[in-house]
Amino acid sequence: MKYENDSRIVLTLDAGGTNFVFSAMQGNKEIVDPITLPSNADNLNKCLNNIVNGFSQVKAKLKAPPSAISFAFPGPVEYTSGIIGDLANLPAFRGGVALGPMLEEKFNLPVFINNDGDLFAYGEAIAGFLPHVNNLLREAGSPKRYNNLLGVTLGTGFGAGIVRNNELYIGDNSCGGEIWLLRNKFNPKTNAEEGASIRAVQRTYSKLSGIPLEQVPSPKDIYEIGLGKKVGNKEAALEGYRQLGESVGDSLSQAITLLDGLIVIGGGIAGASDLFMPALISEMNGTYESPSGVKFPRLALKTYNLDDQNQLKQFLQGDKTEIIVPFSEHKILFDPQKRIGVGISKLGTSKAVAIGASAYALQKLDMK
């Protein structure tokens, strides 16, 4: 479902531990200059007042009344009821706060709150990676099309969202796509996020370079060290991102086994994909070993890096052929190769989240 020509306006919010950024979307586009206010993470009254003030300021800029409020908020949240739980980076909400119902009363509008990983995936499914890949397949003359998408974000945390047949999968407890809670390949006693986040890269760099963790450069600096653009331990930098890629690839392999669809990656670390993507793809195309020692592919699908031009060409080509319809002279184009593609966000994480938030609200309004 696409809403690029929809005239309805949706108020949005990008909620962080330091700042709240308010805006409005119409037709999958931002239509006002964003307004930034401090989150006041440890003072509930100031925090809630700034949320109301931010939406009020954006609403005052609009030429037409908005149809809904929709935004991403860090969990834990009971998304269907709009109740915010105990948040690590917004301690003022401890004990539970009915944020959704409060905003509905203040603005007399339907309010939709969701997870940023979910909305990122939804935005990419509607106006980003999913239609982009399907358009490439169409242009290449391939009969293959994709309807499912796993969107993951790599940064301070490791998040994910699932879109199936144009619908965002939430789950019965608002816990669909909690990829960060898979096992960590390198340390099975910990969760996957410890191997698939900013701190994972920094931890590896610290261990291999001998630099205390508190003195380790930022992930961006480590990336530039790996490229040879900054002075530092290049081998440690490259290994930090290689291990990140292997860890993420392991988690994606487990997740995609249950979904079977394309995978798009966003978040702050996505810009370093040239350092971690080879290990990620290698892991997904790796093997298992039977008790008798026979090796076999860990996935029933072949995985391609769609940001690599050679792999993209192979992905688009597939194994298409024409087959004859029995008892007929008609022929059908057929591509039996089972494959998926992994690529970096085509929209940018923030824009994808905003589009996802707007589209989710409009879809819910249409369902009513």
| CATH value at residue 18 | 3.30.420.40
CA distances to 118, 174, 259 from 352, rounded to whole Å, are 10, 20, 21
The answer to whether the CB of 168 falls within 8 A of the CB of 121 is yes
- Closest among 65, 152, 165 to 110, alpha carbons compared: 65
Longest distance between any two alpha carbons in the chain, whole Å = 74
Q: Are 68 and 150 in the same domain?
A: no
For 189-204, the three-class secondary structure string (H helix, E strand, C coil) is CCEHHHHCCHHHHHHH
Segment 43-58 shows an average pLDDT of 94
Give the number of other CB atoms < 10 A from CB of residue 365. Answer: 15
Instruction: Give the model's confidence band at 173: pLDDT under 50 very low, under 70 low, under 90 confident, else very high.
Output: confident
134 with 107, same domain? no
Mean pLDDT over residues 73-77, rounded?
A: 71
d(CA 364, CA 368): 7
- 187 and 319 housed in the same domain: yes
Per the domain annotation, does 282 fall within a domain?
yes
Q: Which residue has the tokens 């086994």?
A: 257
When pLDDT is cut at 50, 70 and 90, the band that residue 16 belongs to is: confident
Q: Is the pLDDT of residue 367 over 90?
A: no
Can you say whether the dihedral through the CA atoms of 170, 173, 175, 176 is positive or negative? negative
Same domain, 58 and 207: no
- What does the pLDDT average to over 211-223? 96
Same-domain check for residues 91 and 234? no
| pLDDT score at 303 | 98
Is the domain of 52 the same as that of 101? yes
Mark whether 35 and 160 lie in a shared domain. no
| Strand bridging mode 158-164 / 148-154 | antiparallel
> Is 269 contained in some domain?
yes
**pLDDT attached to residue 108:** 97
Tens of pLDDT along 118-142?
999 999 999 999 999 999 999 999 9
Average pLDDT value over all residues in the chain:
92
The reply to whether 163 and 242 lie within a common domain is yes
CA dist 151 and 267 (Å) reads 10
Q: What is the pLDDT of residue 171?
A: 87
Is 201 part of any domain?
yes
Q: Within a domain: residue 17?
A: yes
The reported pLDDT for the residue numbered 77 is 73
Please give the model's pTM, rounded to 2 decimal places: 0.91
User: How far is residue 278's CA from residue 267's CA, in Å, rounded to a whole number?
Assistant: 18
Domain count, the chain: 2
Q: Is residue 358 part of a domain?
A: no
Question: At 186, phi and psi to the nearest 5?
Answer: -80, -20
Asked whether residue 95 is domain-assigned, the answer is yes
Residue in the block written with tokens 């003195």: 215
Instruction: Give the model's confidence band at 237: pLDDT under 50 very low, under 70 low, under 90 confident, else very high.
Output: very high
In a domain, 2, yes or no: no
CB 149 within 8 A of CB 117: no
Shared domain for 111 and 166, answered yes or no, is: no
pLDDT value at 76 more than 80: no
For residue 363, being part of any structural domain is answered with no
Dihedral of CA 269/275/277/282: which sign?
negative
The reported pLDDT for the residue numbered 20 is 86
* Whether pLDDT at 19 is above 90: no
Average pLDDT over residues 212-218: 96
Range of the domain at 183: 129-346
**Do 173 and 301 belong together in one domain?**
yes
Judge if 249 and 104 occupy the same domain. no
Let me know whether 89 and 226 are in one domain.
no
